Amino acid sequence: MLRIVLFPFSFLFGFITCVRNKLYDWKCLSSTQYDDIYVISVGNITVGGTGKTPFVEYLLRSLSQRYQIATLSRGYKRATKGFRFVTAQTTPQQVGDEPYQIKQKFPDVVVAVDVDRRRGITNIRKDYPEIQIILLDDAFQYRKIKPNLSILLTDYSRPLYRDSMLPAGRLREWACFAKRADIMVVTKLPAEIKPEEQQNMKQYYAKIFPNDIFFSVIEYNEPLPVFSNNQKISTADLRKYEVLLITGIANPSPFEDYIRRFAASVQTISFPDHHAFTEKDMVYIAGKWNEKNTNHKLLVTTEKDAVRLQQMNIQETLKRNSYYAPICFRFSGMISSDATSFDFWISRKLDDFFAKE
């Protein structure tokens, strides 16, 4: 019933985004394209998490071995404005949790934030003229730049062909505009998916997306301490503990399901995506922690939330028992959509571009 009520607003929003896209397609609005650097846009067409950060990290691991590379994002929900480089001295509040996380994991990669991506690219190139590739994070709707390669991510559990425009659904623009991307990566496939189901999904997507489609899964590595003074534990060790699970991500269900597979019990406290933890939140979390009348208890959180919790004033017992599960991206090995074929595909694109120089 609610979707029916919201449909007129969805139609209006869809009409506005359609007109905007057409103005760019017809060159009534200008887009900047760079001929001497390679710009890769990674984005989605829906609101909510599609695994962009793990995918950007995958690209950094594979491409930084051959090229000088930088990442640029808007720095979602940061407390600052304008252009900023992310350094070892900056905080998640200053640059956003995801750019901060990337810099922590890739200290030699240039990481910057700016809402104005054209200005951001100009500033990066001024200070780092050796940069060859710039990854634009969450930039599918940023039409002021025409990337050399546009990669669209979409969540397996929320197919574009079954979704609706905002606010009735989750689409930022009509699904037909997905074809603006050069390739699509369907993320977060369940581990138990059958090849025929994956093939059926590919056939459905082919109706709205004529280009290459790849499939991938999100996996979690062994838990790591949020604070450096903790002892190491394994996933198997979780069966001995009651877990207080803290999440501030768009869709916490897969992560919660994963932890429930191992822990003796799980109590979840969910916050909105990119939530900036406050002292009041810490008091509430500590209260829930203290209610657990056992010595075998852990606080477990996501990798993205861990970088924000590290900035907070947390009681010592919580610090000693706080862990996060590192997330990683892996291409599915079914129907020729594995990492080898993707890596070959993108390497060929880059080789062709840099051969022209």
Q: Beta strands of the chain (E only): which ranges?
A: 38-44, 69-73, 84-85, 110-113, 133-137, 149-155, 183-187, 212-220, 224-225, 242-247, 265-270, 297-302, 322-325, 327-331
Across 255-277, average pLDDT: 93
Any domain includes 310: yes
6-39 confidence digits (pLDDT tens)? 888 899 999 999 999 999 999 999 999 999 999 9
Crossing angle of helices 52-63 and 97-105, in 10° steps, is 30
pLDDT value of residue 264 = 95
Is the pLDDT higher at 334 or at 53? 53
Residue 191 has pLDDT above 90, yes or no: no
Any domain includes 306: yes
Any domain includes 22: yes
Same domain, 137 and 44: yes
Torsions phi, psi of 49, nearest 5? -75, 135
Looking up residue 50, the CATH number of its domain turns out to be 3.40.50
Any domain includes 61: yes
Same domain, 273 and 170: no
Q: Closest by alpha carbon to 99, among 150, 42, 137, 154?
A: 137
Q: Beta strands of 200-320 (E only): which ranges?
A: 212-220, 224-225, 242-247, 265-270, 297-302
Same domain, 270 and 298: yes
Same domain, 305 and 198: no
Same domain, 280 and 343: no
Any domain includes 138: yes
How far apart are alpha carbons 93 and 71 in whole angstroms? 18
Instruction: Say what percent of the chain tops pLDDT 70.
Output: 97
* Residues spanned by the domain of 26: 2-67+132-219+331-355
* Distances from the Cα of 308 to the Cα of 98, 100, 250, angstroms: 10, 10, 16
Any domain includes 100: no
pLDDT value of residue 40 = 98
pLDDT value of residue 335 = 45
How far apart are alpha carbons 132 and 344 in whole angstroms? 19
Any domain includes 120: no
> 3-class SS at 42?
strand
pLDDT value of residue 114 = 98
Any domain includes 99: no
Of 175-179, 196-200, 279-283, the one with minimum mean pLDDT is 196-200
Same domain, 350 and 240: no
Q: pLDDT class for 337, splitting at 50, 70, 90? A: very low
Residue 274 has pLDDT above 90, yes or no: no
Residue 174 has pLDDT above 60, yes or no: yes
Residue 339 has pLDDT above 90, yes or no: no
Same domain, 240 and 319: yes
Same domain, 56 and 178: yes
Same domain, 174 and 297: no
Same domain, 250 and 262: yes
* Distances from the Cα of 202 to the Cα of 169, 205, 330, 337, angstroms: 22, 5, 18, 11
| Side chain identity at residue 183, one-letter code | I
Of 35-44, 58-67, 250-259, 289-298, the one with minimum mean pLDDT is 250-259
* Distances from the Cα of 311 to the Cα of 33, 325, 326, angstroms: 39, 18, 18
128-147 confidence digits (pLDDT tens)? 999 999 999 999 999 999 99
244-258 confidence digits (pLDDT tens)? 999 998 888 889 999
Same domain, 175 and 300: no
14-23 confidence digits (pLDDT tens)? 999 999 999 9
Same domain, 319 and 208: no
Torsions phi, psi of 33, nearest 5? -120, 135
Question: What is the number of structural domains in the chain?
Answer: 2
Is the pLDDT higher at 100 or at 231? 100
